Chain A
Amino acid sequence: QVQLQESGPGLVKPSETLSLTCTVSGGSISSYYWSWIRQPAGKGLEWIGRIYISGSTNYNPSLKSRVTMSVDTSKNQFSLRLSSVTAADTAVYYCARDSYCSGGSCYPTGLDYWGQGTLVTVSS
């Protein structure tokens, strides 16, 4: 059974960089895109972006200038960095498994496995 676990600081100061890591267990990080999604308290879901093991990324245009994603296949992990954070970035951050890729093509399968989420608060 694939499991995902987010980790990182729960408190980040304004203007600093939020850094989170998602560790995948029970399956390989290969052959899939991996996404980050966030959810402010009481609000809906916002997709942040996705990464493939090749390093290929897609980012939400509204966050693109501040987002960097990376992947470490040796550790079965992928990471998110969000710079210049403000209180508006306070949210529960989720990682999730995304599209399956094979033979140069990718097939949308929904976000089928999710981490439990981690609350990140931006405050001084």
Chain B
Amino acid sequence: EIVMTQSPATLSLSPGERATLSCRASQSVSSYYLSWYQQKPGQAPRLLIYGASTRATGIPARFSGSGSGTDFTLTISSLQPEDFAVYYCQQDYNFLLTFGGGTKVEIK
């Protein structure tokens, strides 16, 4: 099983700042199979990025994904009030899907 480790666990930033979230896989993952989600309290997760860098339908351009191999990054270029939430990375290799533990982006 591929373990996904996200860092930091919590990111305290102000609106307008840039957020950089990290996701590391325990072994190499094809970028094809790497996705990012946003979850707000009491809501289902929302797909932001799939294929490591492709924005899902309706996702603003301030969200971008990058990376390859074992290291992947989600960047929010300028935090908006509605972006404060928990973010999860997810891989889908060899028919087994696993999530990272999440990064909480909170208001500083």
Q: Which residues of A contact B (CB under 8 A)?
A: 35, 44-47, 50, 58, 60-61, 94, 96, 99, 108-112, 114-117
Q: Is the CB of A114 within 8 A of B45?
A: yes
Q: Say yes or no: A115-B99 contact (C-beta < 8 A), given A44-B88, A61-B1, A108-B33.
A: no
Residues of A within 8 A of B45 (CB): 45, 94, 111, 114
CB atoms of B47 and A45 under 8 A apart: no
Q: Contact check, A112 vs B99: say whether CB atoms are below 8 A apart.
A: no
Interface residues of B in 45-78 (CB under 8 A from A): 45-47, 49-51, 56-57
Rounded to whole angstroms, the CA-CA distance of A96 and B98 in the bound complex is 14
Whole-angstrom CA separation of A47 from B2 in the bound complex? 13
**Cross-chain pair count, CB within 8 angstroms:** 58
Query: Is B22 close to A, CB under 8 A?
Result: no
Q: Which of B32, B44, B46, B98 contacts A47 (CB 8 A)?
A: B98
Give the contacts of B83-104 with A (CB-CB under 8 A): 88, 90, 92, 95-102
A44, A60, A108, A116: the one within 8 Å of B50 (CB): A108
